Structure 1
Amino acid sequence: MEINFLAVIVAGLSTMVIGSVWYNEKVFGAAWMRETGMTKEKAKGANLLKIFGLSILFAIMIAFVMQFMVIHQFGAMGMVGGDIEAAKPSYEAFMADYGHSYRTFKHGVLHGAMVGVFMGLPIVGTNALYEMKSGKYILINSGYWIICFAVMGGIICAWK
């Protein structure tokens, strides 16, 4: 089982597309700005190269790990210690029979959404609680990550 770096990069970049819609003023952008105290004037002073560059890097890092959560076959590879050359013939037979099982966009979306709900939401929520942010803030930001994880999972799982 090889890592598909192109799928990882595309999945990571998908967060930028989702974010451009999610945080648009006509969707959740205006509410997000109110909840964070962000103003248009403050946003104009932002270092966009730093923000977008690091956002893409972080998203690609997430996508890299996401493949191990949405592609079941990586679990089988882990059972042989990642050393496919030393694996027994039963491993090759197993992969021949099940190497592409559950490798669909829909299945990846399911697992990605689960990661978003059970990892993304608690992380965003915990930070928001200590930052004294509102429930609306938690829903806007964790909702974004749940959608992102679902799409990333779908892309990575389906791209063989």
Structure 2
Amino acid sequence: MNVYAVVLAAVSSFLLGGLWYSPALFGRAWNRENGGEVPQGHPAKVFGISFLFSLVAAFAFAWFLGPAPELRKALLCGAVVGLGMVAASFGINYQFAQRSGKLWAIDGGYHTAQFVLFGLILGLWH
């Protein structure tokens, strides 16, 4: 496993999330769909724990792919994991929580893009 690629994947996920949930993309819609309230918490704690989760996800995905995945397979696996596992699992929770389909699309879309990005990095950098 290329540890540097895994760390880069985690960093890229973190940066993607910053853009994805910013007002430039889906931040306003996400906020509306969550009832208009921005969750509270100490920024260092929120960002630090979020980065650790990104790192765990990148390591798990790299382990899942194996040491030298071909790019096409890594991208396809990223789409399957992001949409077919993570977003689908969110969909179950969101139905029981009575959350909107728009919120599911924003959050599920982010995680699908996240794992495809993981696949891109891990498929290119062995």
Give yes or no for TM over 0.5: yes
Runs of 4+ in 1 over 2 A off after TM superposition: 68-71
Residue number in structure 2 paired with 1:30: 28
**Following superposition of structure 1 onto structure 2, how do residues 1-160 of structure 1 map, counting pairs within 5 Å?**
3-39=1-37, 42=38, 45-71=40-66, 102-104=69-71, 106-160=72-126
Residue 25 of structure 1 aligns to a residue whose secondary structure is: coil
Q: AA paired with 1:137?
A: L
Spell out, residue by residue over 1:17-41, the C-alpha distance to the aligned partner (whole angstroms, 9 max, x if none). Answer: 11122112131111000011243xx
Tell me if the contact between 1:11 and 1:152 (Cα under 8 Å) persists in the aligned partners: yes
Question: Which of structures 1 and 2 has the bigger CA Rg?
Answer: 1
TM-score (structure 2 length as normaliser): 0.89
Aligned-residue offset at 1:146: 0.1
Aligned length: 126
Q: Give the unaligned 5+ runs of structure 1.
A: 75-99
Structure 1 CA distance for aligned equivalents of residues 107 and 60 of structure 2: 20
TM-score (structure 1 length as normaliser): 0.71
Q: AA paired with 2:92?
A: T
Tell me how large the CA RMSD over aligned residues is. 1.7
